[in-house]
Structure 1
Amino acid sequence: MNAPLELSLTGRLAALIAAKPIGETDYRTAALFTLDALANALAGRNTTPGGILLDWAAAEPLTTGREALLLGGLTHILEVDDLHRASVVHPGCVVVPAAYALARRRNIGGRAFLAAILRGFEACCRVGMAVGPAHYRIWHNTATCGPFGSAYAAGDLLGLDHAAMTHALGNAGTQSSGLWQFLETGAMSKHLHAGRAAEAGLLAADLAARGFSGPPKILEGEKGFFRATCADPVPERLLGEPDAPWQLVQTSIKPWPSCRHTHPTIDAGLKIAAQVGNRSVERIEVQTYQAALDVCDRIAPQSEYEAKFSLQHTAAAAIHDGKVDFASFDAPARARLSEAASRVVIAAEEPYRSSYPRAWGARVTARLGDGSSIVAERTHAFGDPENPLDDAAMRAKARMLLEFGGVQKPDSFIDAVLALADDGPLPALPGLTE
């Protein structure tokens, strides 16, 4: 059995991740990303889908797998969780819930917990970078690639050896699923994608720890993941640049609660808003990359969730309101901004088209009533590694989410999560696990 495990892409991925060194800055960055994910989970309770998930969880005893599913679903609801550009995966909503649920069960905290987070991010992001662009047109990468990350994180906490970790990843991959069809109606399935991906990886690792085998060639096999779901896979990206920084530190943090594809447009739009003054805006033109249009071309969104996936609505909100927050997507905001959104024209243009997914950029032009124009361009949106939120901004974002979720002492929780980098204990989640 050793030879196929070593020769398979899955086995080689497991070995690559296990060999990567972790530095002091990596631990501290991992604590910030963990804070972001857990704050999102606590905030997600204060939503309609969150209430449904909580009602479901309360109906039966909360097992470790069900807890991972619950936390994963809650983390992904508000559309303000992290995003890894090159893989188009939201790793935090899958990896952190699975690791948290298992670490609570086994009383693991501190740097061992953060190491598992780093390694889990690495697994799902590397798989996501290898699936190719066509996969994303039908499959939701967070749902399909996420189980590899949750399985690795859980396997790391369980102390799996190389063979068992390869089996865990194989069984994670065979559970991969999650389709974009939910966008047609704004259905809540996207939250289920994150929750099930967290649960699936945890199950895969738990079974592997008991000797349950998985297919070592789950990725490249004749009946494997790439063959089944990827029209144009790029397998060499799975193992490329093994000495690169951890994928976690190359992941973006979202400052606004909408699809990340809208963020370069929002960022440029907010810059324009600061220059418009009292002048009227007659037309807004957005030039960006094709994937943004594929997912977010929605000129008249009919729900809060559809508005979060609308370049037209978010461009109008940024320029006409000069801010984008949770209230930017509710029914009054959609009604107020509908006429302005109808005058937003979007197109996929260079250099943004060919730069994606390495860079997610946009150029926004506001045509004003006096005949003049204001143009703003973003190669990298706010929150990308090239344009990051600093520690103070990360704390401020977490505080906003925790207050939205009804947490009474947000700063105490923030301090406790960040103390994981100093090998502190895993904190309870106020109102969820305390």
Structure 2
Amino acid sequence: MTTTSQALAKQLSRPIIEADRERARLLLLDWTGCAVAGRAEPAGVKIAAAFADEAGRCTRIGSSSASPQMAALHNGCLGNVLEMDDVDKRAVLHAAPTVIPAALAMAEHVNADAADLLDAIVIGYEATIRIGRAVGPGHYAFWHNTATCGPFGAAAAACHLLSGSDLVSALGLAGTQSAGLWQTRHESDSMAKQLHAGHAAQVGVQSALLSAQGFQGPRTILEGEQGFFKALCPGGDPQDVLADYGGWLLHETSLKPYPACRHAHPAIDAALTATDAGGPITVRTYADALKFCDRPNPETAIEAKFSLQHAVAICLDKGMPELSDFEPGVIATHAATRARVTVERSADFDVAYPAHYGASVEIDGKISTATDALGDPEVPMSLQQVREKAAGLIRHGGMDEAAANALIEAALTGSLDDYRETLP
């Protein structure tokens, strides 16, 4: 009998073409900007300090080199710090900070080339997104999908690069270590969300390395009676992992133009096209956006990034949101507009979610609507927009313009050595 993991492994072995690798390069660039910027943030500084004595040959952005496991942990944490990493809207997870750090660490560990790295990214995204789309809302109600589904994709990416590894076994080892609870979102000083991503990347690398030594994992981790879906996914079906989606799923990944929770992005898009005549402001959107982002009085940067009220107020007060608009010293400047905002659940947006992230903003009877968020496949960011986003993030992370441009070109066109040498 073929297990779900074995069937998934077969799907992950199908051909990869140059267009898939080009998409992987774009996602690599987007993640790079996020990770370089994250190194200068408090969570980034703390994760580097905690493991400062680690040694090895794999790159840790903004810190000394380390073992592949620790490099994956470090870089995985950094990529999620500023809440600007890519997202699959149907899986409701960020693949980049789990898959790319694992792929990069393993590529350095085995001296792979850029094409191998890109193929590993394609495969890792596929595994993570497929499982994320299958777990269902019962899982997402308590579990952070990036953290719980990310280890599978990180293991798949790492196994693609590591000769002698056993993907099915590694998926079992990764799945049994899956973890990450949403309670972190209810405490503004918690940095556990970043640890979720780093841990998932580390688990993937570790699982691949163990499998290459014959260290066996459970082959029925997904569908088993005490496996991942039975334990963590009420209403989820492991057979949905094998759904026919056509091409590689990294092409359906959404990029984030704004430094806020993705659930706030459709409201931002709607607000950017609204005219503020000074009256009451009503934001209507889907239930998950309210669950995570109904915060009328944010005080910290992370609370502001998870506040529909603050995001909309920024747009109406000044236009396009920037990183600085979410800093504690700036939050109060939007208090008056924020106080005019009320949020409501919309049945129409609920029905469309998660295939479509939508919201509307009503001011004095005039309604602006976004049925899809900028950066989604339906409304893609241009290459120039992605480059500009990355450049701004890289400069935010302390690199000058020339160094930022060199890193961008290396990510988009260079060899693995070119890319490594231009990282800070």
TM-score normalized by the length of structure 1? 0.92
Residue 12 of structure 1 corresponds to 7
2:119 to 103, 106, 115: 115
Shift of 1:109: 2.3
Residue 370 of structure 1 corresponds to none
Structure 1 distance, partners of 2:162, 2:335, is 51
Q: Does 1:250 align with 2:242?
A: no
Structure 2 distance, partners of 1:112, 1:56, is 31
Shift of 1:343: 2.3
CA contact (8 A) 2:268 2:315 kept: yes
Structure 2 distance, partners of 1:323, 1:332, is 18
Letter in 2 for 1:170: G
1:69 to 61, 68, 73: 73
Residue by residue, what CA displacement relative to the aligned partner does 1:14-52 show, whole Å, maximum 9, x if unpaired?
A: 111112x22222111110101111221111011111111
The range that moved more, 58-67 or 10-19, is: 58-67
Shift of 1:160: 4.8
Aligned residues: 411
Letter in 2 for 1:182: T
Residue 316 of structure 2 corresponds to 319
Q: Does 1:388 align with 2:380?
A: yes
Matches within 5 A, 1:86-235: 86-160=90-164, 164-186=166-188, 187-235=190-238
CA contact (8 A) 2:69 2:205 kept: yes
Residue by residue, what CA displacement relative to the aligned partner does 1:167-195 show, whole Å, maximum 9, x if unpaired?
A: 00010000100011111212111000000
Structure 2 distance, partners of 1:87, 1:248, is 12
Q: Does 1:407 align with 2:421?
A: no
Distance 1:228 1:429, change over 3 A: farther
Is the partner of 1:358 in helix, strand or coil? coil
Residue 378 of structure 1 corresponds to 370
Is the partner of 2:281 in helix, strand or coil? strand
Structure 1 distance, partners of 2:279, 2:391, is 37
Is the partner of 1:138 in helix, strand or coil? coil
Structure 2 distance, partners of 1:14, 1:207, is 17
Residue 348 of structure 1 corresponds to 345
Q: Does 1:80 align with 2:84?
A: yes
Q: Does 1:269 align with 2:271?
A: yes
Residue 60 of structure 2 corresponds to none
Shift of 1:298: 1.2
| Percentage identity across paired residues of the two chains | 40
Residue by residue, what CA displacement relative to the aligned partner does 1:212-262 show, whole Å, maximum 9, x if unpaired?
A: 1111111111111111111110333211115x1211110000001110000
Letter in 1 for 2:10: A
Structure 2 distance, partners of 1:285, 1:336, is 20
Residue 335 of structure 1 corresponds to 332
Structure 2 distance, partners of 1:391, 1:236, is 36
Residue by residue, what CA displacement relative to the aligned partner does 1:129-165 show, whole Å, maximum 9, x if unpaired?
A: 010011111100000000001000000011456xx11
CA contact (8 A) 1:109 1:426 kept: no
TM-score normalized by the length of structure 2? 0.94
CA contact (8 A) 2:229 2:237 kept: no
Letter in 1 for 2:6: G
Question: What's the Cα RMSD here?
Answer: 1.5
Is the partner of 2:13 in helix, strand or coil? helix
Matches within 5 A, 1:24-39: 24-39=18-33
Distance 1:431 1:118, change over 3 A: closer
Is the partner of 1:99 in helix, strand or coil? helix
Structure 1 distance, partners of 2:144, 2:339, is 28
Shift of 1:425: 4.2
Structure 2 distance, partners of 1:135, 1:424, is 37
Shift of 1:110: 1.6
Structure 1 distance, partners of 2:316, 2:163, is 51
Distance 1:431 1:153, change over 3 A: closer
Is the partner of 1:406 in helix, strand or coil? coil
Give ranges in structure 2 of 5+ residues lacking alignment.
Answer: 56-65
Q: Does 1:310 align with 2:307?
A: yes
Letter in 2 for 1:104: E
